[in-house]
Amino acid sequence: MYVATLLTNPAAPSLDPALVESLRNAWGGGEAVWLSSDEAAEFALDVMPGNLWEVWADLQKLGVDLVVQRTEGRRKRMLLADMDSTMIEQECIDELADEAGVGAHVKDITARAMNGELDFEGALIERVGLLKGLDEAVIAKVLAERITLMPGGQELVATMRAGGGYAALVSGGFTAFTAKVAEVLGFDENRANTLLAEDGRLTGDVGRPILGREAKVEALGQITARLGISPADAIAVGDGANDLGMLGLAGTGVALHAKPSVAEQCDVRINHGNLTALLYLQGYAREDFIG
């Protein structure tokens, strides 16, 4: 058995009941269940539709995300999340670079690295090198003035943890940011790279080993083993090329507002919804949300 989930942007919910019914009838689906009025609905299917991606492309033009997945095991016991452009709306290194006066150059490198055009580790070393001499106090300034949470993140973490789930924030960014974001959102743990500093200023280097794509895969394996569950029991979310390993290994890997080259390698793509989409995909209704 499968389940088809349709959802839209919660800030401007526009899911037409007639659209849901039309697709349900075309695919021979079960009765539609509304998880949130005008925002998210689902229906059961006996088989995976052969024209899924053609329909998906048409719905994207209408501002609607569509995911079809197996019904069994879709409610997960662990959340593994990327931070930059996933749990927060910014790329932390880009914001630091702005403060250092090299914002445009670093932003270009970040975009190419996240799109898979550059080696992640090399790109990180190059970008951090451009921050050499920056006052360490700028980190707190950026956190206070530039960093905003991605909509739906607090509900996602709180709801999964209330249901007995475990939440881990694993980032190719920096511990100075993940520690704060994890605390605010209620994550159980966080992992990231360490910006090195001496005498109150950044040295232009980062601690080794560098946490990149493989480290995220390792984190998923290590944490699930510690919890006595398998990677299939986890839902992972990210947007960049360095997230593809964990997205592929997790039971449900969600490409959230991802770079096109990343999204096309994932079966679950959310381009219009926010982080609450991960709850709808697990069958939670809006009234089940915590926070």
Distance of alpha carbon 184 from alpha carbon 93, whole angstroms: 20
Radius of gyration of the chain (CA): 20
Q: Which residues are catalytic?
A: 82, 84
Distance of alpha carbon 130 from alpha carbon 127, whole angstroms: 5
Q: Which of 253, 40, 57, 30 is nearest to 152 (CA)?
A: 40
Burial of 11 (0-12, 13-18, 19+ CB in 10 A): exposed
